Amino acid sequence: MSKITEKVTALARPVVEEEGCTLWDVEYVREAGSWYLRVFIDKDGGVGIDDCERISRRLDPLLDEADPIPDSYVFEVGSAGAERELKRPGDFVQFMGAEVEVRLYQPLDGSKVYVGTLSGYDDGAVTVTVGNNSRRFDKSQVALVKLHVSI
């Protein structure tokens, strides 16, 4: 985690928890020439726009006062989403048995995307099961793992 995201995480976590939510992730990224600071939250029963607004209004002055980012940026608070990315070991433990989408850097057997049930996680290696077949992907192969919602 970058120093900026670590500082923002430390500022945001108590506020998010006081509002009855969980801090899922903080990202600071450059998109289309602008910097974005995004705070992703979660809550049992789902996050609503009111949750995002309350947390945003509480965090905005704290960020202004702490000034962890020297440049201008766009600040957003949003839901982690139904198809959230799994990043930390705890994320994989929490969603073991859930349907996930694994995206690879390079195609394997003609595909860069695999969808299946998360059935294993070991130090960055991810195992998914489709039917009776399990497939293990090494950490170096995996570009992204996210929850998958079938329609």
**Per-residue pLDDT tens digits of the chain, which is 151 residues long:** 579 999 999 999 999 999 999 999 999 999 999 999 999 999 999 999 999 999 999 999 999 999 889 889 999 999 999 999 999 999 999 999 999 999 999 999 999 999 999 999 999 999 999 889 999 999 999 999 999 998 7
Position of tokens 């309350």? Answer: 54
Q: Where are the alpha helices (DSSP H) in 1-151?
A: 3-18, 49-66, 89-94
* Residue 8 and residue 75 in one domain: yes
**Domain total for the chain?**
2
pTM of the model: 0.83
Which of the listed residues 58, 79, 100 is the one where a domain comes to its end?
79
* Residue 118 and residue 53 in one domain: no
Which of the listed residues 79, 112, 128 is the one where a domain comes to its end?
79
Q: By the 8 A CB rule, do 31 and 40 touch?
A: no
* Residue 66 and residue 103 in one domain: no
pLDDT at 2: 74
Q: By the 8 A CB rule, do 69 and 4 touch?
A: yes
84 inside domain: no
How far, CA to CA in Å, does 45 sit from each of 16, 96, 149?
A: 16, 19, 16
